Amino acid sequence: MSNKPGTAGRNWLPLPVGSALIIIVAFILLKSVRPVIPHSVILLYMGFIVLGVVIHITLEDTRIRRFWDFFLAQPGEGGVLKVQRLAMLALLPLVAGWWAYDSVRPTYAPPVEIFQRHPTVGEATLAQIVVPPWALVPANWRDSDIAAGKVLYVANCAICHGDKLDGAGSAAPGFRYPIRPANFRDAGTIAQLTLPYVYWRLTIGGLQNQFNSAMPRWVAAPGDANASSLHSNDFTSDEAWQVILYLYRETGYTPRAE
Amino acid sequence: MGWTADADRRWMPVAGLALAGLLIAATGPALAQSAPIRDYAEPALIDSRLAVWVAAQLHLDFAAFVLAVPMFALAIEVFGWRMARRDPAGAARYDWMAHEMARLLPAAYSLTAISGAFLGMLLFSAYPRLMAYMTETFGPTFVIYPMFFVAETIFLYLWYYTWNRLQGNRKWVHIVLGLLLNIFGTIVMFIANAWATFMMTPGGVDEAGALISLYDAVWNPGWMPLNVHRLIANITFGALLCAAYAAYRFLSARTEAERALYDWMGYTGNLIALFTMLFLPFAGYYFGFELFAYSATYGVTLMGGVLSWLFIIQAIVIAILFIGAAYYAWLGLLRIPGSEPQRRMVPVFNVALIAGFMVWATPHSMAASIEESTGQFHPLLGALGLMAPKMIAVTLILVVLYVSYLLYRRAGKVPVVPWARTGTQVEWALIALMALIILGLGIYGYFAPADIRIKTSIWQILVLIGGIVITFGIDLALLKGAETRAAVRWGTMPRRGQYILILLAFVIVWLMGLMGYARSGARLNWHVFGLIEDTSVSAGLPTLGEAAIVVTAITLIFFVLLGIAFAISALSGRDTLPEFGDEAREAAA
């Protein structure tokens, strides 16, 4: 390997400055994407980018030497290089300081929710949900039930979940955090789930905690301590099943087998 | 070797087995008692779940190591044996390396037995009712298991201690011993896997849990996928630990020859790990697929629910493994003086690998604050977080790793075949075509319905495998009799490469611990899924943060114990190092 002494001094863009520029430009680009990329994802990406830069520098012995040589004053070096070195030496503690400040400064935002698309429910809870015989087999679903489900859906659900079941109801933009009403046409929602799970989600499983979801409970089981006066008595159990059948028939999906 | 040195070494396994026997004997009465069986107890005076968790994971780590090392050490031994006639010096080197890897086994084997005994004792005393049920269901396997375990023990020590005696014409006897060791070891693992998978996907029992068919209880839906997954993962695990050991010996080597040999051993360990790692994602999909087929709850829990974020952590950790292994391989080019043309390509690979892993680790749903949340999938990241882009990313990453390996083969060599120029052009054109097809299939799959998307991802893998087979065939023919401009200078690997090997060993142990938590945690509130509910005070699923702390602690304990085991094995003295001159180094490369 050739290592010419003083290479760092003649280079108009020394390796540490080039590396810092790549990291800074990547950060600015990621930050300028709209809608904003969440901080957690930017942190992840920047971790990979910094790793890539470190790998690049340490792959060759000459590069490592060039990297460290930059921080040592060379006799007869130009003013541009000196400015760059001072800027780098100032930048590093400033970034570290800002990071420390940013991680402890007070904020009034609610805690970041690690959103779970399909909240976990115990098998025992699901086992208690009995699918009525008329809802069990998609081939045997009656048109009358689906028609009844449609009426109920349009009257109660469509304002959030949309007339087209695409999650774009007129009230949907009002829900921003942590997620908008579900888009049933997306392959990641009801197409992935079993009938008892969807029933659980619709009737009791919507609201997990104060930050998780605005989906109300729609069916009050006898003696349900969590039933509220808002919507909990709006559907009977059979009506909830009719709505579910409508969701599947209208989107063309079938429930996942248990 | 003198008699005293042998005797010194032999007390360890015997003591380990004696202790294991004592512990098993101590737990025996718990089974024999006719008094009513309690549900739970706290024999370790700490949370029993935590105690069992630590014991089980440590046992699994040691077991994975002692199962895997004989597999590839035997393969290396056979490789050396086959070349004995045409290249005795080369054969001696391979034999040395296989023996050096096997050297780590006796002490690690004792720790496997001891941790297994602790696990058994804790399980029987902390979960009496569960273990009574498991004993009732799996009684005969509980009898067969120790028999195979003893057989494995006998053959392990026979294989290890007869190494120097069974050389030359009697080498085949030694190979047979190693083969039997591997067969018994695999059976032992398969039996234990039956118990573990029965708890996840019980079969062969009626709705009340009464045994109908022991065969179906053993061959339950999760059994074979876990067997395959663990078999491959163990080899990755064992190879990386051997590589870390070699790195340690490289760093502490006193002579050039020693450094050269351990450099070669570390390189081999990393290569084995990298090769087996290629198959692991697919073995993982197979296991996950069977779990999902068994109960949709598993699918929801693992992929959409409470454990979904664990898989983002897993993706990052796997990325570190691949990037680390690739970095080590690229650094390896520094060993070859004439490798400048190849080294010029590395920055391009680096960018491709980092970009690929950024896509691979992009979460579909993200952790967003209220200011950041749009309430919808992010238009850009939501698209990258899907299966199709991730498949493109991961398959192209594998292409990059493969091309890195091809360049490593080419470094310092000049092909002599008359069609070398055309052959190289065809080879590169085929690799480019392979990458383009993979990309095209991925883009097509992105816009296609889910069922077609799954098929395109299978096609991507087939194109990758087919492309590798064809181009590697061309490469073998191209480099046949190639002129060597500069030989690999083993022992000149930068020290940072050795630290990377040690880091990779730490990462794989940690990853194994994390996935142990995922496999066990996926059952949620069940000891045996759907049959025996966990009603203990610690039934709740630990948070990811808590799990990460426990897994880190287990990893540290494992390395302390393994370090002690290695130090003990070093007490037995060192073999004479085989010759590793320039010609030999070239042959090894």
pLDDT digits (tens, 9 = 90+) for B351-365: 999 999 999 888 776
CB distance A120–B361 less than 8 Å?
A: no
Residues with Cβ < 8 Å from B365, sequence gap 6 or more? A115, A116, A117, A179, B308, B377, B385
Q: ipTM of this model?
A: 0.82
Q: Measured between CB atoms, which of A39, A116, A127 is closest to B369?
A: A39
- Give yes or no for a contact between A188 and A203, defined as CB atoms under 8 angstroms apart: no
**B152-168: per-residue pLDDT in tens?**
999 999 999 999 888 88
Give the nearest partner residue to A52 out of B351, B369, B375, using CB atoms. B351
CA–CA separation, A210 vs B405, rounded Å? 52
Q: What pLDDT band is residue B389 in, cutting at 50, 70 and 90?
A: confident
Q: Is B167 on the interface with A (CB under 8 A)?
A: no
Chain A closest-CA separation from residue B90 CA (Å): 30
> Are residues B398 and B278 in contact, defined by beta-carbon separation less than 8 angstroms?
yes
Burial class, B218, CB count within 10 angstroms (exposed 0-12 / middle 13-18 / buried 19+): buried
**8 A C-beta contact, residue B523 and residue B49:** no
Please state the rounded mean pLDDT for residues B254-278.
Answer: 90
Do B346 and A60 contact (CB within 8 A), yes or no?
Answer: no
**Structural tokens at position B276:** 């087996």
| CA–CA separation, B309 and B304 (whole Å) | 9
Report which DSSP code applies to B414.
E
pLDDT tens for each residue of A215-244: 888 887 777 776 666 777 788 999 999 999
Residue B478 has pLDDT above 50, yes or no: yes
Query: Would the CB atoms of A116 and B316 count as touching at under 8 Å?
Result: no
Phi, psi (degrees; rounded to nearest 5) at B205: -130, 160
Measure CA B176 to chain center: 24
User: Mind telling me how many Å the CA of B500 is from chain A's nearest CA?
Assistant: 11
- Its sign, for the CA torsion B447, B448, B449, B450, is negative
Out of A55, A176, A187, the one facing B373 most closely (by C-beta) is A176
Compute the average pLDDT of residues B310-333: 90
Structural contact between residues B492 and B335, judged by C-beta atoms closer than 8 angstroms: yes
Which of the pair, B520 or A186, is modelled with greater confidence? B520
CB contact under 8 A, B357 and A48: yes
Alpha helices in B372-524 (DSSP H): 381-384, 387-410, 420-447, 450-478, 495-521
Kindly report the nearest CA distance between residue A67 and chain B, in angstroms: 16
- pLDDT higher than 90, residue B140: yes
The span from the CA of A18 to the CA of B430, in Å, is 35
pLDDT at B4 exceeding the cut of 50:
no
Interface test with A, best of B376, B495, B529 (most A CBs within 10 A): B376
Q: How far apart are the first and last CA of chain A?
A: 63
Instruction: Give A3's pLDDT tier (boundaries 50, 70, 90).
Output: very low
CA distance B532 to B205: 12
Residue B50 has pLDDT above 80, yes or no: yes
CA distances from A228 to A196, A220, A234, A241 (A): 22, 8, 11, 20
Helix, strand, or coil here: B528? strand
**Cβ neighbours of B12 (radius 10 Å):** 19
Q: What is the pLDDT of residue A74?
A: 81
CA torsion angle A232 A233 A239 A245 (round to 10): -10
Angle between helices B105-126 and B3-32 (to 10 degrees): 10
**B199: enclosing H helix or E strand:** helix B171-200
Query: Which of these, B326, B504, B472, lies nearest to B401 by C-alpha position?
Result: B326
Q: Provide the residue type at B407 as one letter.
A: L
pLDDT in tens, A135-147: 999 999 999 999 9
Do residues B445 and B457 make contact, with C-beta atoms less than 8 angstroms apart?
A: yes
Q: What is the mean pLDDT of residues A202-211?
A: 65
Q: Answer whether residue B486 shows pLDDT above 70.
A: yes
Give percent of chain B above pLDDT 70. Answer: 89
Query: What pLDDT is stored for residue B408 in this prediction?
Result: 86
Please name the member of B306, B361, B530 whose beta carbon is closest to the beta carbon of A44. Answer: B361
Contact check, Cβ <8 Å, B365/A192: no
CA gap B70, B163 in Å, rounded: 13
* Exposure string for B339-377, b = 16+ CB within 10 A, e = fewer: beebbeebeebbebbbbbbbbbbbbbbbbbbeebbbbbb
Asked if B295 is an interface residue toward chain A (Cβ–Cβ < 8 A), one would say: yes
pTM over 0.90: no
Question: CA dist B139 to B52, B142, B190, B276, Å?
Answer: 21, 5, 16, 35
CA dihedral B194, B196, B200, B202 (to 10 degrees): 40
Strand partners, B528: B532
pLDDT-wise least confident of A37-46, A90-99, A170-179, B428-437: A170-179
Tell me the average pLDDT of chain B: 86
Q: What is the mean pLDDT of residues A112-134?
A: 78
Confidence class for position B11, pLDDT limits 50, 70, 90:
very low
Which 3 state secondary structure label does DSSP give B533? strand
Query: What single DSSP character describes residue A142?
Result: -
Q: Which pLDDT score is estimated for B228?
A: 95
- Which residues, at least 6 apart from B466, have a Cβ–Cβ distance to it below 8 Å? B434
Given a cut of 60, whether residue B6 has pLDDT beyond it is no
